[in-house]
Amino acid sequence: MAQARRGRVLDGRYELGTAPIARGGMGEVWEGTDVRLGRRVAVKFVRFPGDADEEDRTELVRRFTREAKITAELQHPGVPAVFDVGEEDGHPYLVMQLVQGVSVADLIAEQERLSVGWAAGIAAQVCAVLAVAHRASLVHRDLKPGNLMLEPDGTVKVLDFGLAVALDRTDMSQITRTGHTPGTPAYMAPEQLLAGRATALSDLYALGCTLYEMLTGKRVFAASTPFAVASKQVGERPTGVRRARPEVPEELAEVVAALLEKQPENRPSGAVEVYGRLIGFADDLEPMPGILHPPSLPSPQRMYGAALSRVFTAK
């Protein structure tokens, strides 16, 4: 992939910074400026697999453009807005809302583990995002702490929907057929690892892995190689949350265990059900100095959410 330099402008509009602000297995993200509108943006480039041939690359570009259009229809505060899509030197890119805050992965690394209230609250917000995505027949496929961003007002953004897969698509891409299935083994459901296919219930499994890690500070399964991790995901039962952290409420531990069921049909029926089981634990959310704005600072987002929560509330 060509290296960006200061002053380099995409499509006569998006001026990039000097270095990526994030890298992953399937792409990298640059901070930029939309010079027409004068706003900061995030520009994500897709990275091709090293052994992808021309047919693979063409198919990945086609699929990326198609799914980016679908993703742009997701209207939710927990999904970064999609502004534009383009291509440079054969590399597709996505222009999105720039999200600022701390990733849940970094938050866990800093605090070792999260409080019960914050773990449940973050997971509940993720459920709200998954509910709207799954309703639009989109499955994320790579849900993990590194793809969750906690903003200073407490809002959780779910990143990387640009590589989501439409559930109702029947044309399996050449990229998938050749084995380049996006995902991170430590958070992938058994059926995703075995068959390369993901559904809404696979996202719930990934949410279970993420919730487990937020509560315990440890991954559900760890091993020296991705293959060994994948083998454990498929064949081993996870250690119960309360064995690693006894003060976790039993009812919350049951939610985690249900999400981590090996068979998809044994998991909760959907994100809405999981939200209902989590939201009651999302209380006593302590301040996080240096991460969240102080409670004394008014938050328009929380004001809006609090007012919205009163709609149809039983008297």
For 222-235, what is each residue's pLDDT tens digit?
999 999 999 999 99
Least confident of 103-112, 177-186, 198-207: 177-186
Which tops the pLDDT comparison, 122 or 178?
122
Which tops the pLDDT comparison, 278 or 45?
278
Positions marked catalytic: 142
Confidence (pLDDT) at 44? 87
How does the average pLDDT of the chain come out, rounded?
87
What is the average per-residue pLDDT within 42-69?
A: 77
Q: What dihedral angle (degrees, nearest 10) is formed by the CA atoms of 125, 157, 22, 70?
A: 110
Q: Is the pLDDT of residue 165 over 70?
A: no
We find that the CATH architecture of domain 14-97 is: 2-Layer Sandwich (3.30)
What CA–CA distance (Å, rounded) separates 92 from 27? 10
Q: Is the pLDDT of residue 24 over 80?
A: no
Beta strands in the chain (DSSP E): 9-10, 14-16, 22-24, 27-34, 39-46, 82-88, 91-97, 102-103, 138-139, 148-150, 156-158, 165-166
Pick the CATH number of 102-287 from 1.10.730.10, 1.10.510.10, 1.10.3720.10, 3.40.50.11900: 1.10.510.10
Q: Is the pLDDT of residue 292 over 80?
A: yes
Confidence (pLDDT) at 157? 95
Residue 152 is given by DSSP the state T
What CA–CA distance (Å, rounded) separates 183 from 306? 35
- pLDDT tens for 152-162 read 999 999 988 75
Which tops the pLDDT comparison, 314 or 239?
239
- pLDDT tens for 103-136 read 999 999 999 999 999 999 999 999 999 999 999 8
Q: Where are the domains of the chain?
A: 14-97, 102-287
Confidence (pLDDT) at 260? 98
Q: Is the pLDDT of residue 212 over 90?
A: yes
